[in-house]
Structure 1
Amino acid sequence: MNHKIRIRKLPTGVPGLDDLLGGGLPEYSFNLIAGCPGGGKTTLAHQIMFTQASPTNRALFFTVLGEPALKMLRYQQQFSFFDIDKVNNSVHYVNLSQDLQQGDFDKVLMRIVNEVQQYAPSLVFVDSFRSLLRSGKQAHAERFDMQRFLQQLAMEMTGWQATTFLIGEYSAAEADSSPLFTVADGILWLTQSLHRDTMVRKLQVVKMRGQSQHSGLHTFRIDDNGIQIFPRAMVPTNTAVAIKVPGGKKRIAMGIPGLDEMLGGGLPTGYALLVVGPSGSGKTILSTEFLAEGVRRGEPGVIAAFEKHPNQLLNKALYTLVTAGQVGMIDAYSLSLSIDETLYELIKAIERLQAKRVVIDSLSGFELVLAPQFHEDFRGALYRMVAVLTGMGVTVLMTSELEDRYTDLRFSPFGSAFLADAIIVQRYVEMEGSLKRVLSVAKVRGSEHSKEIRLFEITDAGIIIGQPLKCYSGILSGRPSVDAKPGTPMGASNDDPL
């Protein structure tokens, strides 16, 4: 009977990276960490090294840059993952710059091999191997020697009983022609781009032998804790996925008397509800009632606020729920975000609170706080985010502001109404010289629902829904209200054909 060899996967200590790699780094694998200067390659290597290094799992870090290791360490120890007690105990640094100055690559290779044999490390890093190609003279014969050296070094590293890493700068064209990229078991590619005044960093797992990795570009940040990766629209492996069935679903209460009946008995769980309307029509208050009702029923919620700071929330009840820890708050008002980063924070808050309800207030504000690079694919990224959240069995309420146009009926300025399983429309009407608010249910997928247009008021007790609108004196359409007759359809006047 044949038995498969089980390869142990090493945790990287980089949030989000293990999921991209398919569970971690394969033990004894030979990996390249490549990309542009300043992209975070050395920081990524150190974060992995300090996570794994221990007295029984020692690490050897070769520096081939002109600067001493002490200078590099002065900056790396600013990160929270850095453990000074491990330096010279379970982490050992070797500077090869003086060996490189002599231009004898065979001697450099011998020095590396000897250090590895003497120290017997479990992890080996060479940073930056790319500078080897740029050191010394650039004669044809010497360039050949350097290429031969790198190939020999790579072959040596694949044979060691250690997990190894080569770190350096490479362009895409060089990567296509370099034999190192063929020999490597894993390749991590880091990029960064500046658009207007925003820097966006992304990581790609180009290759990881023997396991299923997640392809594509994934946003990451470098902060005081090191590197944090926000995988592109992925459901965490420990999250149960709910299958959406149009009929016969459990329904949840909205917290507004009369609205559940309009929705056909409440909002089906795991649905995405889009609430649209002009400024001041009551979208945020409806969202607040939705979350407050969830707390009353033992269904915690999370709100991602993109228009107001938590201290500016109009509803004091919601602010109380947030400060009491009953509703989680994602405050992204002043940040340049990606949708993947927002999704990561939402999932983290959902798992922490075991939340069943999520509010995104609003899509209009969300687009404003996104970094400019993400505007082009806003609809596609938003689709992935909603699919992930509803796939987790969470019920999502999104708000979207429309322009004050009353001659047509629209559901979203982004063409994103297709994302919603249900839609509630709020509008203004002019009746007897006063502005009145009305709402209607435009859609509930797989369910009967009310087709009525109902008046509603916003009071200290919340939203109060009135009777169906039978007739009204006109709609704000830029024409004098006295010209409109009772019963005029929404968006029409006396002179418009019915």
Structure 2
Amino acid sequence: MPMPELARLSTGIATLDLILNGGLLRGGAYILQGFPGAGKTVLANQIASSHVRDDGRVVYVTLLSEGHDRMMAHLSQMAFFDPAVLPGRLSYVSGYAELEKNGLPGLAKLVRSEVERQEAELVILDGLFAAEETASSSHAFRRLIHELQAYAHLSGCTMLLLTNSRREPGSPEYTMVDGWIEMTDVRAEGRVMRELEVHKFRGGGIVRGRHRYRISENGIEVYPRLEAVVGQQVAMPTGNTLVSSGIAKLDLMLRGGLSAGSATLLVGPSGTGKTIAALQFAGSATVNEPCLFLGFYESPERLRHKASGIGVDMAGLEATSRLHLHWRSPAEILVDEVAGWLLAELRRVGARRLVVDGIAGFQQNLVESERMGRFLTALGNELRSLGITALYTSAMTGHGQFPAPAAQGVAELSPLVDNVLTMRLVERNEAVHKVFSIVKVPDRDFDPRLVTYTIGPGGIALAG
């Protein structure tokens, strides 16, 4: 007989619930581990506040952590914290005096009595390391963990145990509880980023691996790795529908345009007009098939100025919702945050075209360079499932005759997209000429010639 699905307690953070496959299990005991300043107390209070807003009851027991008044002062800066809904539903209890007087048995008794008195469905014990330091032996400490875990199962009350003690993964405490969540820092290339990982979770699947998070005025914001949450979706077939590139002669070379739902990589060194070509692609958007333009290196004001110089009425496109222009600074962004926002925004506006002007904005912020293939594949699959035709621009170093070496990373990106177009600078007769070529279009004929082009009031003008 199939077993009934275990009831869940939402964390109040949709993306964390996604990682946990729906939230914490009711009646489960979980260790939340992290160094001082990792955000354990913020996360625990955020979960507590969410449960209170859902008409639940919470007991929050503190041990040697910051005083309640100080905690309230810090939490009052957070958007999730509303003191008006706390009375009668969220009780803060100091357990240190009881721990000092009656030891671990007294602490366990205090937790049980407060849960029963408040009829709480969630209990948080903040400062588990203090209980460990008080324990007469490691055996006594493990017995406390066992008692708390057994009580959680028996009472159906979810229990969250916060500690800054870092122990080996095989430590008995971790084997006794239902779950183990770690909040930590990762350092790379001079950057420090926060990461969350669910090491253990009984009774349900989880999204494994490390996921970035930040602490803001909204509390803890978690960003699951894109390839872990959308990378398995099956892409819809692109069919035979073609969409215009925005450049008439390029459409002729492509034998009608770009395949709907395809991804195109436009590569070229600085000054070749990649952004101009991207603006022309965006300028071909319609009311029924709008475009979202995401730029990393040029501000919206500069893009609007460039567009006006080639006859693209950006103001008119934006006023009629045919174009949605966005800019993100590439300085230390969280790529999974941007990708999650991007997919949500594409759905919201019903976009059918996407421009990412400067894909290096993603590349240089992934930190783990080997992720780019998985990340871009997951993004591409999700875009295809939404029926979105994408254009990515990428810088390339050097000039010279085709096929000159591509910029670092371009060779790796090429297999991850459908089409590859290049814009190059070629020295000929003591002059530098701009040359356009189509390198790759799968499963159909195209014009492979090298074609010179100019950039003028009408944008990109291909010769011949």
Question: If the length of structure 1 is used for normalisation, what is the TM-score?
Answer: 0.84
Residue 406 of structure 1 and its aligned partner are, at CA, apart by 0.7
Q: Which residue of 2 aligns with 1:72?
A: 71
Q: Which residue of 1 aligns with 2:283?
A: 292
- Work out which of the residue numbers 342, 345, 349 in structure 2 matches 1:346: 342
Distance 2:267 2:65 in 1: 59
Q: Which residue of 2 aligns with 1:272?
A: 263
Q: Which residue of 2 aligns with 1:427?
A: 424
Q: Residue 463 of structure 2: SS of its match in structure 1?
A: strand
**One-letter code aligned to 1:452:** R
Q: Does 1:232 align with 2:225?
A: yes
Question: Structure 1: any 5+ residue segments left out of the alignment?
Answer: 468-498
Q: Which residue of 2 aligns with 1:255?
A: 246
Q: Residue 284 of structure 2: SS of its match in structure 1?
A: helix
CA separation of 1:170 and 1:381: change in aligned 2, threshold 3 A? farther
Q: Does 1:126 align with 2:116?
A: no
Q: Which residue of 2 aligns with 1:487?
A: none
CA separation of 1:121 and 1:196: change in aligned 2, threshold 3 A? same
Q: Does 1:381 align with 2:375?
A: yes
- Work out which of the residue numbers 404, 410, 424 in structure 2 matches 1:409: 404
**One-letter code aligned to 1:315:** A
Aligned pairs for 1:100-119 (under 5 A) are 100-102=99-101, 104-119=103-118
CA separation of 1:359 and 1:412: change in aligned 2, threshold 3 A? farther
Q: Residue 254 of structure 1: SS of its match in structure 2?
A: coil
Contact 1:233 1:388 in 2 (8 A): no
Contact 1:340 1:385 in 2 (8 A): no
Contact 1:272 1:386 in 2 (8 A): yes
Distance 1:90 1:118 in 2: 12
Q: Which residue of 1 aligns with 2:155?
A: 160
**One-letter code aligned to 1:213:** I
**One-letter code aligned to 2:245:** M
Aligned pairs for 1:92-491 (under 5 A) are 92-102=91-101, 104-134=103-133, 136=134, 141-173=136-168, 175-178=169-172, 180-195=173-188, 197-234=190-227, 242-244=235-237, 248-294=239-285, 296=286, 298-313=288-303, 314-316=306-308, 317=312, 320=315, 321=317, 326-368=322-364, 370=365, 373-375=367-369, 377-407=371-401, 408-414=403-409, 415=411, 416-430=413-427, 434-467=431-464
CA separation of 1:329 and 1:204: change in aligned 2, threshold 3 A? farther
Give the length in aligned residue pairs: 454
Question: If the length of structure 2 is used for normalisation, what is the TM-score?
Answer: 0.89
CA separation of 1:132 and 1:219: change in aligned 2, threshold 3 A? same
Contact 1:364 1:400 in 2 (8 A): yes
**One-letter code aligned to 1:335:** A
Contact 2:60 2:91 in 1 (8 A): yes
Q: Residue 341 of structure 1: SS of its match in structure 2?
A: helix
**One-letter code aligned to 1:70:** D
Distance 2:281 2:225 in 1: 28
CA separation of 1:430 and 1:55: change in aligned 2, threshold 3 A? closer
Contact 1:241 1:392 in 2 (8 A): no
CA separation of 1:443 and 1:3: change in aligned 2, threshold 3 A? closer
Residue 208 of structure 1 and its aligned partner are, at CA, apart by 2.7
Q: Deviations over 1:360-396 (max 9, x none)?
A: 211334444x26x334644443444334433443222
Distance 1:344 1:30 in 2: 30
CA separation of 1:282 and 1:80: change in aligned 2, threshold 3 A? same
Q: Deviations over 1:135-173 (max 9, x none)?
A: x4x7xx444333322322222222222222111124251
Aligned pairs for 1:30-109 (under 5 A) are 30-54=29-53, 56-102=55-101, 104-109=103-108
Residue 465 of structure 1 and its aligned partner are, at CA, apart by 2.1
Distance 2:132 2:167 in 1: 16
Distance 2:118 2:74 in 1: 25
Residue 444 of structure 1 and its aligned partner are, at CA, apart by 0.4
**One-letter code aligned to 1:220:** Y
Moved more, 439-448 or 358-367: 358-367
Q: Which residue of 1 aligns with 2:23?
A: 24
Distance 2:453 2:248 in 1: 11
Residue 193 of structure 1 and its aligned partner are, at CA, apart by 2.4
CA separation of 1:194 and 1:45: change in aligned 2, threshold 3 A? same
Residue 350 of structure 1 and its aligned partner are, at CA, apart by 1.0
Q: Deviations over 1:227-277 (max 9, x none)?
A: 11111124878x9853346xx432211111121121122111221101111
Residue 7 of structure 1 and its aligned partner are, at CA, apart by 2.6
Distance 1:53 1:390 in 2: 40
Distance 2:226 2:267 in 1: 25
Q: Residue 409 of structure 1: SS of its match in structure 2?
A: coil
CA separation of 1:56 and 1:278: change in aligned 2, threshold 3 A? closer
User: Radius of gyration: which is bigger?
Assistant: 1
Task: State the identity %.
Answer: 27
Residue 205 of structure 1 and its aligned partner are, at CA, apart by 2.1
Over the aligned positions, Cα root-mean-square deviation in angstroms equals 2.6
Q: Residue 403 of structure 1: SS of its match in structure 2?
A: coil
Q: Deviations over 1:314-365 (max 9, x none)?
A: 3244753457754334422253023322211211211221212221211334
Q: Residue 436 of structure 1: SS of its match in structure 2?
A: strand
